[in-house]
């Protein structure tokens, strides 16, 4: 086997493999899974996978490896594209239907570009319709046409100009050409809609006249990155328009093209949560029948048969001078066993240690290799292989944890801003150094955290509205697992393991034990008990009588037996357990109650002996 410093550890982001100098390496290391074949099927319109599961990698691989019967193009939506969409919306008062129409024109332009690039012979003869369309495109872009999303947006922005070119070169007879521009917003919108429909039909007529010899697929990538400058509702309108346009073209127009051997489709690359938010009809059916879902979930038992292990092993084995047997390369570079593994294995189980650091995604495995390379190979501390001590060292866990936290931040930034992210990080201080905690500890930490937010004057994010909401949020982001116990077995439930096409949004259970992800513990300030914080500078309001305070119940969760009371004269909410309620009737939101304050074992104030105020 080659020494470690002779290996290339590649890129975690597959977009880098679009570059010519990196294509050969990528084609060698790419693992061809069953998902690749599914993606080539004509009824597959969505490639669905979590961030880091390889959506871009599949699109890059297919685009890098065309055949005579299958052609691919891979297009990205960039920040400037979203900005242009927002500008168009503001200029023309666009609704969802106009977004759909704009996307249809853009997608048809990208399809035409793929045909021009890959199948010139299909319109080399006497096919005047597509030749006329190409001439109009060349004239509009001054022979500098580049089939990208931004090119389509420029065309839409200047719809009148492209229509002039279509009239001149493609024989378009423009209906309603004598309509004049009006200062009226409604008339401007009607004219804009008419122009879009005219352009769309011109493209459709030209494309449907072709007899293609190959299938053409256009991948639309970059959808799961929302620029910070674009509000989420505006982003969502844009993506919903894309999804509806894609579905319409793939089902209504492309299949209707007759006398063509080759077929056309557009595939969108989406995260499951984004797919879930599109509001499409029969969503589950579309996920089952029209999507390829990337699934890298790996069980400890039989992990060597998993695609994730095969991917990691292939990454190392294809770089050798001779091809080793499956698994040999990994075992050579990681010749040790994982700790706390119950099953007996005849070969090293080091991959389990790596797996524990990950969300079971290819990007995470590659990030482990890259971190080890940076810390130990480039410094000469690892020459022939890595050791267990290196893989579990504090410096490795800190460096890799920084990567994992960056992944979490990227995921959160899709919906939330920097302020919400900073509050999210702040919460973990209130766990007082516990990587593992029970539900009671979580509720106590949440209560203290909410008190901190109230005192600081910050706005509480919607994902922190209730303790249950926040617990689900932490589970959704794979920050925590919950642990179920039977008489003889312990089950660790991770969202990324429980999630499946039939269960896109698994629910966390309350009243369980919880554990922070192994790869994140060192970077979330949970490694040491924090003793110096939370000395309140807020004056305590005197009790009303006999040591009791009064307030109003803000929230009470009967099933989970906890709630909060807005204390009179205090800008904070007091936490209370349901078992400390001594009211003769059920406590409900809005009830006036009397209570005493008591410190819990960690010195935090909580409401006890909660009872209704008589006469209220």
What are 89-98's contacts with CB under 8 Å, separation 24+?
A: 89/234, 89/237, 92/188, 92/189, 92/192, 93/185, 93/189, 94/189, 96/237, 96/240, 96/241, 96/244, 98/189, 98/192, 98/193, 98/196, 98/241
**Residues 349 and 338 sit within 8 Å (Cβ to Cβ):** yes
Q: Which two tokens stand for residue 585?
A: 């009737």
Q: Give start-end residues of each CATH 2.40.50.140 domain in the chain.
A: 549-612
**Residues 439 and 413 sit within 8 Å (Cβ to Cβ):** no
Q: Which helix (H) or strand (E) holds 555?
A: strand 549-557
Question: What pLDDT, on the 0 to 100 scale, is given for residue 178?
Answer: 47
Q: Chain centroid to CA 352: how far?
A: 25
Longest CA pairwise span in the chain (Å): 98
**Residues 436 and 514 sit within 8 Å (Cβ to Cβ):** yes
Higher pLDDT, 417 or 601: 417
Name 539's Cβ contacts closer than 8 Å, sequence gap at least 6.
none
Q: For the segment 374-432, what is each residue's pLDDT rounded down to a tens digit?
A: 999 999 999 999 999 999 999 999 999 999 999 999 988 888 988 999 999 999 999 98
Q: For the segment 569-592, what is each residue's pLDDT rounded down to a tens digit?
A: 666 678 888 877 876 567 888 888
Question: 499 to each of 215, 235, 350, 493, 504, how far by Cα in Å?
Answer: 33, 25, 26, 10, 5
- Give dist(CA 270, CA 242) in Å, integer: 11
Q: How many CB atoms lie within 10 A of CB 357?
A: 23
Question: What pLDDT, on the 0 to 100 scale, is given for residue 186?
Answer: 64
Q: What is the dihedral of CA 151, 154, 155, 160, to 10 degrees?
A: -170
Q: How many CB atoms lie within 10 A of CB 382?
A: 19
- How is domain 549-612 classified at the architecture level of CATH? Beta Barrel (2.40)
Q: In the 8-state DSSP scheme, what is residue 462?
A: G
Tell the residue number behind the tokens 């790869």, with chain if given: 519
Residue 559 confidence (pLDDT) above 90: no
Q: Chain centroid to CA 132: how far?
A: 41
Nearest to 337 by CA among 359, 360, 356: 356
Nearest to 159 by CA among 142, 174, 144: 174
Q: For the segment 164-209, what is each residue's pLDDT rounded down to a tens digit?
A: 998 988 877 665 544 444 445 566 778 888 899 999 999 999 999 8
CA atoms within 13 A on the CB side of 565: 30
Counts for the chain of helices (H) and strands (E), in that order: 22, 14
Question: What pLDDT, on the 0 to 100 scale, is given for residue 542?
Answer: 42
- Give dist(CA 137, CA 112) in Å, integer: 10
Confidence of residue 543 (pLDDT cuts 50, 70, 90): very low
Nearest to 350 by CA among 323, 362, 332: 332
Q: What is the mean pLDDT of residues 135-140?
A: 92
Burial label for 180, CB within 10 Å (0-12, 13-18, 19+), is: exposed
**Residues 274 and 223 sit within 8 Å (Cβ to Cβ):** yes
Question: What pLDDT, on the 0 to 100 scale, is given for residue 321?
Answer: 94
Nearest to 199 by CA among 159, 253, 252: 159
Question: What pLDDT, on the 0 to 100 scale, is given for residue 572?
Answer: 66
Higher pLDDT, 268 or 160: 268
Q: Chain centroid to CA 160: how far?
A: 38
Q: Which two tokens stand for residue 607?
A: 């409401």
Q: What is the pTM of this model?
A: 0.82
Q: For the segment 329-352, what is each residue's pLDDT rounded down to a tens digit?
A: 999 999 999 886 655 567 889 999
Tell the residue number behind the tokens 């939370």, with chain if given: 534
Name 136's Cβ contacts closer than 8 Å, sequence gap at least 6.
162, 165, 166, 168, 169, 170, 202
Lowest mean pLDDT among 11-15, 72-76, 99-103: 11-15
For residue 534, give the 3-state DSSP assignment. coil
Q: What is the mean pLDDT of residues 315-320?
A: 95
- Give dist(CA 34, CA 292) in Å, integer: 10
Question: What pLDDT, on the 0 to 100 scale, is given for residue 527?
Answer: 46
Q: What is the mean pLDDT of residues 32-40?
A: 95
Question: 244 to each of 96, 102, 239, 436, 539, how far by Cα in Å?
Answer: 9, 11, 9, 44, 57
Q: What is the mean pLDDT of the chain?
A: 87
Tell the residue number behind the tokens 């040491």, with chain if given: 528
Residue 81 confidence (pLDDT) above 50: yes
């Amino acid at each position: 086997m080659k020494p470690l410093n002779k290996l290339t550890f590649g890129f975690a982001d597959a977009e880098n493999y679009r570059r010519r100098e990196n294509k050969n390496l990528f084609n060698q290391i790419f693992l061809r899974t069953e998902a690749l074949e599914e993606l080539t099927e004509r009824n597959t319109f969505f490639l669905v996978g979590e961030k880091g599961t390889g959506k871009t990698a599949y699109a890059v691989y297919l685009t890098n490896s065309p055949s005579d019967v299958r052609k691919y193009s891979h297009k990205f939506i960039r920040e400037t594209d979203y900005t242009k969409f927002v500008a168009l919306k503001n200029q023309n008062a666009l609704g969802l239907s106009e977004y759909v129409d704009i996307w249809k024109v853009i997608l048809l332009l990208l399809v035409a570009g793929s045909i021009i690039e890959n199948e010139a012979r299909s319109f080399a003869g006497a096919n005047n319709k597509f030749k006329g369309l190409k001439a109009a495109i060349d004239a509009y872009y001054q022979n500098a046409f580049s089939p990208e999303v931004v090119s389509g947006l420029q065309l839409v922005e200047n719809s009148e100009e492209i229509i002039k070119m279509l009239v001149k070169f493609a024989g378009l007879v423009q209906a309603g050409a004598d309509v004049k521009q009006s200062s009226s917003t409604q008339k401007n919108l009607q004219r804009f809609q008419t122009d879009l429909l005219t352009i769309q039909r011109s493209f459709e007529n030209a494309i449907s006249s072709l007899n293609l010899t190959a299938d053409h697929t256009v991948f639309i990538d970059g959808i799961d990155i929302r620029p910070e400058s674009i509000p989420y509702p505006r982003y969502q309108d844009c993506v919903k328009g894309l999804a509806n346009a894609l579905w319409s073209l793939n089902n209504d127009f492309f299949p209707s093209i007759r006398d063509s051997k080759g077929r056309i489709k557009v595939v969108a690359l989406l995260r499951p949560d984004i797919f879930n938010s599109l509001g499409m009809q029969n969503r589950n059916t579309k996920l089952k029948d029209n999507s390829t879902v990337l699934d890298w979930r790996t069980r400890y038992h039989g992990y060597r048969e998993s695609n994730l292990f095969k991917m990691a092993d292939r990454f190392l084995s294809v770089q050798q001078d001779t091809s080793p047997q499956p698994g040999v390369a990994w075992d050579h570079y990681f010749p040790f066993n994982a700790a706390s593994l119950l099953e007996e294995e005849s070969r090293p189980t080091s991959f389990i240690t790596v797996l524990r650091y990950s969300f079971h995604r290819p990007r995470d495995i590659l990030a482990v290799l890259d971190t080890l390379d940076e810390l130990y190979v480039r410094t000469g501390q690892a020459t022939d292989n890595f050791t267990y001590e290196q893989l579990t060292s504090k410096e490795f866990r800190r460096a890799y944890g920084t990567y994992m936290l960056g992944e979490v931040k990227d995921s959160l930034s899709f919906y939330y801003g920097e302020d919400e992210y900073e509050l999210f990080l702040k919460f973990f201080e209130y766990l007082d150094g516990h990587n593992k905690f029970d539900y009671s500890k979580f509720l106590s930490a949440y209560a203290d955290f909410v008190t901190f937010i109230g005192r600081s004057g910050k706005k509480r994010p919607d994902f922190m509205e209730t303790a249950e909401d926040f617990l689900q949020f932490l589970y959704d982001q794979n920050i925590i697992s919950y642990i179920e116990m039977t008489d003889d077995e312990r089950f660790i439930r991770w969202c990324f393991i429980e999630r499946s096409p039939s269960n896109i949004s698994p629910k966390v259970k309350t009243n369980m034990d919880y554990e922070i992800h192994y790869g994140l513990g060192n970077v979330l300030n949970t490694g040491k008990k924090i003793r110096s914080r939370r000395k309140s500078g807020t004056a305590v309001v005197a009790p009303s009588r006999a040591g009791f305070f009064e307030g109003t119940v803000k929230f009470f969760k009967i099933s989970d037996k906890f709630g909060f009371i807005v204390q009179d004269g205090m800008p904070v909410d007091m936490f209370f357990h349901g078992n400390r309620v001594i009211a003769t009737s059920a406590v409900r939101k809005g009830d006036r109650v009397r209570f005493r304050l008591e410190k819990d074992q960690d010195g935090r104030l909580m409401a006890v002996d909660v009872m209704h105020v008589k006469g209220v």
